Structure 1
Amino acid sequence: MRKEYDLKALKVKRRGVLPALKGQTADQAKVRVTIALDRDVVEHYKQAAAKRGALPYQTQINQALRRSIDQPATQALKSELLKDKDFIRSLAREVAHG
Protein backbone atom coordinates (compact mmCIF):
# COMPACT_ATOMS: atom_id res chain seq x y z
CA MET A 1 0.00 0.00 0.00
CA ARG A 2 1.25 3.45 -0.84
CA LYS A 3 1.90 6.06 1.79
CA GLU A 4 0.27 8.68 -0.38
CA TYR A 5 -2.23 8.64 -3.24
CA ASP A 6 -2.73 11.28 -5.92
CA LEU A 7 -6.48 11.80 -5.66
CA LYS A 8 -6.50 14.04 -8.74
CA ALA A 9 -5.34 11.11 -10.86
CA LEU A 10 -8.27 8.91 -9.81
CA LYS A 11 -10.91 8.35 -12.46
CA VAL A 12 -14.54 8.80 -11.49
CA LYS A 13 -16.61 5.98 -12.87
CA ARG A 14 -19.98 7.55 -12.17
CA ARG A 15 -21.42 10.72 -10.72
CA GLY A 16 -24.85 11.09 -9.25
CA VAL A 17 -27.76 8.73 -9.48
CA LEU A 18 -27.52 5.58 -11.56
CA PRO A 19 -29.11 6.15 -14.98
CA ALA A 20 -31.66 3.41 -14.32
CA LEU A 21 -32.83 5.20 -11.17
CA LYS A 22 -33.24 8.70 -12.60
CA GLY A 23 -36.72 10.09 -12.08
CA GLN A 24 -37.53 7.77 -9.19
CA THR A 25 -38.50 9.01 -5.76
CA ALA A 26 -36.46 7.98 -2.75
CA ASP A 27 -38.95 5.29 -1.73
CA GLN A 28 -38.85 3.78 -5.24
CA ALA A 29 -35.06 3.54 -5.34
CA LYS A 30 -33.32 0.25 -4.75
CA VAL A 31 -31.38 -0.26 -1.54
CA ARG A 32 -28.32 -2.48 -1.41
CA VAL A 33 -28.49 -5.03 1.40
CA THR A 34 -26.68 -8.18 2.38
CA ILE A 35 -28.99 -11.09 3.02
CA ALA A 36 -28.47 -14.80 3.65
CA LEU A 37 -30.68 -17.05 1.51
CA ASP A 38 -30.81 -20.82 1.20
CA ARG A 39 -28.54 -22.08 -1.55
CA ASP A 40 -31.38 -23.88 -3.36
CA VAL A 41 -33.44 -20.68 -3.47
CA VAL A 42 -30.60 -18.72 -5.05
CA GLU A 43 -29.86 -21.56 -7.49
CA HIS A 44 -33.51 -21.68 -8.52
CA TYR A 45 -33.51 -17.99 -9.43
CA LYS A 46 -30.09 -18.16 -11.07
CA GLN A 47 -31.28 -21.02 -13.29
CA ALA A 48 -34.42 -19.08 -14.16
CA ALA A 49 -32.28 -16.02 -14.97
CA ALA A 50 -30.05 -18.07 -17.26
CA LYS A 51 -32.94 -18.59 -19.68
CA ARG A 52 -33.01 -16.39 -22.74
CA GLY A 53 -34.85 -13.13 -22.15
CA ALA A 54 -35.22 -13.72 -18.41
CA LEU A 55 -34.78 -11.00 -15.83
CA PRO A 56 -31.66 -11.05 -13.62
CA TYR A 57 -32.01 -13.34 -10.62
CA GLN A 58 -31.90 -10.51 -8.09
CA THR A 59 -34.79 -8.79 -9.87
CA GLN A 60 -36.76 -12.03 -9.81
CA ILE A 61 -36.16 -12.42 -6.08
CA ASN A 62 -37.23 -8.80 -5.55
CA GLN A 63 -40.45 -9.43 -7.51
CA ALA A 64 -41.20 -12.56 -5.48
CA LEU A 65 -40.74 -10.60 -2.26
CA ARG A 66 -42.98 -7.82 -3.58
CA ARG A 67 -45.71 -10.37 -4.43
CA SER A 68 -45.49 -11.73 -0.88
CA ILE A 69 -46.13 -8.21 0.44
CA ASP A 70 -49.19 -7.87 -1.78
CA GLN A 71 -50.56 -11.35 -0.95
CA PRO A 72 -51.72 -11.02 2.70
CA ALA A 73 -55.11 -9.58 1.70
CA THR A 74 -55.60 -12.35 -0.84
CA GLN A 75 -54.56 -14.99 1.68
CA ALA A 76 -57.00 -13.63 4.27
CA LEU A 77 -59.81 -13.70 1.72
CA LYS A 78 -58.99 -17.29 0.75
CA SER A 79 -58.94 -18.34 4.39
CA GLU A 80 -62.36 -16.81 4.98
CA LEU A 81 -63.83 -18.38 1.84
CA LEU A 82 -62.55 -21.81 2.86
CA LYS A 83 -64.46 -21.46 6.15
CA ASP A 84 -67.71 -20.65 4.28
CA LYS A 85 -69.59 -23.93 3.69
CA ASP A 86 -72.03 -22.29 1.22
CA PHE A 87 -69.10 -21.05 -0.86
CA ILE A 88 -67.51 -24.51 -0.84
CA ARG A 89 -70.79 -26.14 -1.99
CA SER A 90 -71.20 -23.55 -4.76
CA LEU A 91 -67.62 -24.04 -5.86
CA ALA A 92 -68.06 -27.82 -5.91
CA ARG A 93 -71.15 -27.43 -8.13
CA GLU A 94 -69.24 -25.15 -10.51
CA VAL A 95 -66.35 -27.58 -10.75
CA ALA A 96 -68.67 -30.54 -11.32
CA HIS A 97 -70.52 -28.76 -14.15
CA GLY A 98 -67.33 -27.70 -15.85
Structure 2
Amino acid sequence: MTASIPGSPGTPDSSDVVDRLLTFAYRGWIVSCGTQRIDGGLYRPVVFCRPDEPGEKDARLPVDTDNAAYASEAEALRHGEQQAMRWVHDRTGGQGEF
Protein backbone atom coordinates (compact mmCIF):
# COMPACT_ATOMS: atom_id res chain seq x y z
CA MET A 1 0.00 0.00 0.00
CA THR A 2 1.36 3.42 -0.92
CA ALA A 3 0.49 6.62 0.87
CA SER A 4 -0.69 9.55 -1.18
CA ILE A 5 1.25 12.78 -1.23
CA PRO A 6 -0.72 15.70 0.22
CA GLY A 7 -1.53 18.04 -2.64
CA SER A 8 -0.49 15.48 -5.23
CA PRO A 9 -2.54 14.47 -8.24
CA GLY A 10 -5.51 12.38 -7.19
CA THR A 11 -5.85 13.92 -3.73
CA PRO A 12 -8.66 16.32 -2.80
CA ASP A 13 -6.50 19.46 -2.65
CA SER A 14 -4.98 19.06 -6.11
CA SER A 15 -7.77 20.70 -8.10
CA ASP A 16 -5.31 23.12 -9.72
CA VAL A 17 -3.40 20.30 -11.44
CA VAL A 18 -4.44 19.40 -14.98
CA ASP A 19 -5.54 15.81 -15.58
CA ARG A 20 -2.64 14.85 -17.86
CA LEU A 21 0.20 13.35 -15.84
CA LEU A 22 3.59 11.93 -16.61
CA THR A 23 4.58 9.28 -14.07
CA PHE A 24 7.89 7.42 -14.04
CA ALA A 25 10.40 5.75 -11.73
CA TYR A 26 13.91 7.16 -11.42
CA ARG A 27 16.67 6.01 -9.06
CA GLY A 28 14.30 4.65 -6.42
CA TRP A 29 11.74 7.45 -6.61
CA ILE A 30 8.29 7.54 -8.20
CA VAL A 31 7.82 10.88 -9.96
CA SER A 32 4.50 12.41 -11.03
CA CYS A 33 4.58 15.52 -13.19
CA GLY A 34 1.44 17.50 -13.90
CA THR A 35 0.70 21.03 -14.99
CA GLN A 36 -1.19 23.99 -13.61
CA ARG A 37 -2.83 26.44 -15.98
CA ILE A 38 -2.02 30.02 -15.09
CA ASP A 39 -2.78 33.48 -16.52
CA GLY A 40 -2.89 33.92 -20.26
CA GLY A 41 -3.16 30.22 -21.10
CA LEU A 42 0.34 29.44 -19.86
CA TYR A 43 1.29 26.32 -17.92
CA ARG A 44 3.46 25.72 -14.87
CA PRO A 45 4.95 22.30 -14.03
CA VAL A 46 3.80 20.66 -10.80
CA VAL A 47 6.11 17.87 -9.63
CA PHE A 48 5.69 15.28 -6.88
CA CYS A 49 8.35 12.76 -5.82
CA ARG A 50 7.59 9.71 -3.68
CA PRO A 51 10.29 7.33 -2.46
CA ASP A 52 10.00 3.75 -3.66
CA GLU A 53 11.48 2.60 -0.34
CA PRO A 54 10.55 3.77 3.18
CA GLY A 55 12.85 6.22 4.93
CA GLU A 56 12.50 9.29 2.74
CA LYS A 57 9.68 11.84 2.82
CA ASP A 58 7.30 12.56 -0.05
CA ALA A 59 7.98 15.91 -1.72
CA ARG A 60 6.20 18.45 -3.86
CA LEU A 61 9.01 20.26 -5.61
CA PRO A 62 9.04 24.06 -5.53
CA VAL A 63 8.99 26.11 -8.72
CA ASP A 64 12.63 26.06 -9.79
CA THR A 65 12.81 29.21 -11.92
CA ASP A 66 11.58 32.76 -11.49
CA ASN A 67 9.61 32.66 -14.72
CA ALA A 68 8.26 29.10 -14.75
CA ALA A 69 5.52 29.60 -17.32
CA TYR A 70 5.42 27.64 -20.56
CA ALA A 71 3.34 28.11 -23.70
CA SER A 72 2.18 24.50 -23.86
CA GLU A 73 1.29 21.74 -21.46
CA ALA A 74 3.84 19.45 -23.15
CA GLU A 75 6.64 21.97 -22.60
CA ALA A 76 5.73 22.35 -18.92
CA LEU A 77 5.65 18.56 -18.48
CA ARG A 78 9.06 18.23 -20.13
CA HIS A 79 10.50 20.86 -17.79
CA GLY A 80 8.92 19.13 -14.77
CA GLU A 81 10.48 15.82 -15.81
CA GLN A 82 13.92 17.42 -16.06
CA GLN A 83 13.47 19.18 -12.71
CA ALA A 84 12.49 15.91 -11.01
CA MET A 85 15.45 14.04 -12.45
CA ARG A 86 17.86 16.75 -11.23
CA TRP A 87 16.22 16.75 -7.78
CA VAL A 88 16.42 12.96 -7.41
CA HIS A 89 19.94 12.89 -8.84
CA ASP A 90 21.10 15.42 -6.25
CA ARG A 91 19.68 13.28 -3.43
CA THR A 92 21.07 9.95 -4.61
CA GLY A 93 24.70 11.01 -4.97
CA GLY A 94 24.87 10.39 -8.70
CA GLN A 95 27.78 12.69 -9.45
CA GLY A 96 28.87 12.65 -13.06
CA GLU A 97 26.06 10.35 -14.17
CA PHE A 98 23.44 12.89 -15.24
Report which of the two has the higher share of helix. Answer: 1
The structure that has the greater radius of gyration is: 1
Report which of the two has the higher share of strand. Answer: 2
TM range (shorter): under 0.3
- TM-score, normalised to structure 1, is 0.26
